[in-house]
A and B are shown apart, each in its own frame.
Chain A
Amino acid sequence: MRAVALRRSAVTGGLLARRVSARRRIVDAVARLGMFLAVLVALVPLVAVLGYTVSRGARALSVQFLTHSMRGVGPLDRTGGAYHAILGTLEQVIIAGILAVPLGLLVAVYIVEYGRGPLRTAVRFLVDVMTGIPSIVAGLFIFAFWVLALHQGFSGLAAGLALAVLMLPVVVRSAEEMLKLVPDSLREASYALGVPRWRTVVSVVLPTASAGITTGVMLAVARVTGETAPLLLTAFGFDSIRTSPFRGPQSGLPLFVFSQASSAFDVAVRRAWAGALTLIVVVLVLTTVARLVTSRSRMEVG
């Protein structure tokens, strides 16, 4: 009888055996309530940020905003938009991806397939440490290295380099996780067919993990798309459309939002909200699609 009651309490987690004293039951209920409230408190800012951004941004967003730059727009003009910034962000993120994704994959392959001993441990540890480098420090690094030491000047490319520094550890970590999930039996089957190790990695291991790796890359892209601080020090900002990322300062969407938000004029703040909404939509769509890709692939495997 008691065993049954105990098992029931273990299973449902809610119904406690009769013997539990009132005080313990109350403490348990209070603790559960506290934990539940913590979840609510954690979700309040999410709702508030998204809701407020959507309501302010939707009023300010327009086709004109998405198709015009800030060239020749006076401080009190209601015109002007973020076209130049969207273009800049697109180029900068693509540059960052081109640099960080292959490199990140190689590092992950090294860690999972080849690495051993202290070097592997050191690389893994430093990748983890790298995820904690503040984005402004990555910007300062590229500024000191690319802009000052190599005299390359501010450009979209410099911004891409800084974003790549931030993207690299994220790509490595997620790719590492995914490569580890590939069952060893697949590798062994490939070796048994006489396929060399590197071919096994390229044509068996990586394709098997591709869905998960895609998710990781998308999350990394989403993360760097919203980065403002490094752009300040590398792309610097520019009011007109600059198609080439290789020469001269460029704008970026987060940077555009920051500079408009720092302004005292209402029209600029309106533009900041429109930019913030655009940014948040891009980032959340990337994040959500990335999650759906994983959950679907997981379902197929399971």
Chain B
Amino acid sequence: MTATDSTGLRPRLARKRAGRRGDLVFRWVAQLSGILILVLIVAIAAFLLDRAVPAFRHAGLRFFTERGWSPDADHPRFGIEALAFGTVVSSICALVLAVPVALGSALFLTEVAPPRIGRWTGYLVDLLAAVPSVVYGLWGIYYLVPRLNPVERWLDQRIGFVALFHSRSATYGRSLFAASVVLAIMILPIIAAIAREVFRQVPSEAREAALALGATRWETIRISVLPYSRGGIVGAMMLGLGRALGETIAVALVLASVFKVDLHIFEPGGNTIAANIATKFGEAGASGREALIASGLVLFAITLVVNVVARGVVYRTGLAAEGRP
């Protein structure tokens, strides 16, 4: 290539120009693909909104206060109050269950365990994220729910005076709590993975300074590692929350679909926006599908806000500069 280039000025210039043209085309193609990402997100919102408008128009503000879901009836009544309630409650419970385990294991794997063991165990925890949600759902019904039953009964008998842990029917099982446990398992790997990255970003000087002062390992974590990574941890939790809010199939399988707004999370029944779309879509008529799309739009808006805020927090802590997730 260089040999032919050095033979004369003209071919070299021609090649240069061709190279420039190729460069221009390639740059534009790449840039257009980048812009396509923007277009895609706008398109998702636009097409969902377009199909949801009839449902919103029909239900009006009752869309947010109605608890039942019969959009195809002669007198259609549907609203997302019970669904939104179930979505938020199950996700928050999942977060409460998952965060201590995720942070504890991430701390152990980055701060305490030898690096080699830390890496391999981290890989095993990541494998939890690879299991498809339908498998979690199936496992949830046939393995987890029967084993959670006695736990729920035991807790009810001990601390059942708190409504949260009481079942008035004395039956347990396919409850919001069971769904939360499955969700917790599913969001654990993402929280743990991001937390591990965040802890790794803590400069070793901060750790060494604490150790040099005679701090124990735990004290080092408390005074150097945790304060430094607070923002990242909040971001990781919110990303986990986003996952839990949108999880569909596992919840649809585990939860017995009941429309209610009720903090007795040990009682069977409940529903979430995403699970309701999955269970109702097959049998829905035209207006039923529009109602489901309307509920999906609400879910999209909620998860978008949660994700934007979470990414914003993670970016602000400087992870973005390193290009980490």
Contact = CB atoms under 8 A, between A and B. Distances in A.
Q: In terms of DSSP, what is the predominant structure of the interface of chain A?
A: helix
A134 B303 contact: yes
A261 B137 contact: yes
B219 A110 contact: no
Interface string A241-270: 000000000000010011001100000010
A173 B325 contact: yes
A202 to B, nearest CB: 8
17 contacts: A31-B217, A31-B221, A45-B188, A127-B37, A129-B304, A132-B304, A133-B246, A137-B300, A138-B44, A140-B277, A196-B22, A198-B25, A228-B132, A228-B133, A232-B281, A261-B138, A276-B134
A27 interface: yes
Interface string B171-205: 00000000000000100100010000000000000
Given A110-B33, A232-B278, A46 B214 contact: no
Contact of A287 (B112, B127, B277, B308): B127
Given A52-B143, A134-B247, A258-B249, A17 B134 contact: no
Contacts of A291: 123
**Of B5, B121, B296, most A-chain CB atoms within 10 Å:** B296
Given A123-B37, A199-B22, A258-B253, A280 B47 contact: no
Given A24-B216, A136-B296, A257-B134, A39 B43 contact: no
A301 interface: no
A148 B100 CA distance: 44
Contact of B41 (A20, A46, A129, A232): A129
B60 interface: no
Contacts of A134: 245-248, 274, 299-300, 303
Contacts of B236: none
B30 A283 contact: no
Given A53-B135, A197-B23, A279-B132, A123 B38 contact: yes
Given A228-B248, A261-B138, 10 more contacts: A35-B107, A35-B111, A42-B128, A48-B143, A136-B296, A140-B296, A144-B293, A148-B51, A193-B1, A254-B134
Nearest to A112: B323
B1 A140 contact: no
Interface residues of B, number: 104
Interface in B242-264: 242-243, 245-249, 252-253
A198 B104 contact: no
Nearest to A123: B34
Given A28-B219, A39-B108, A257-B138, A229 B274 contact: yes
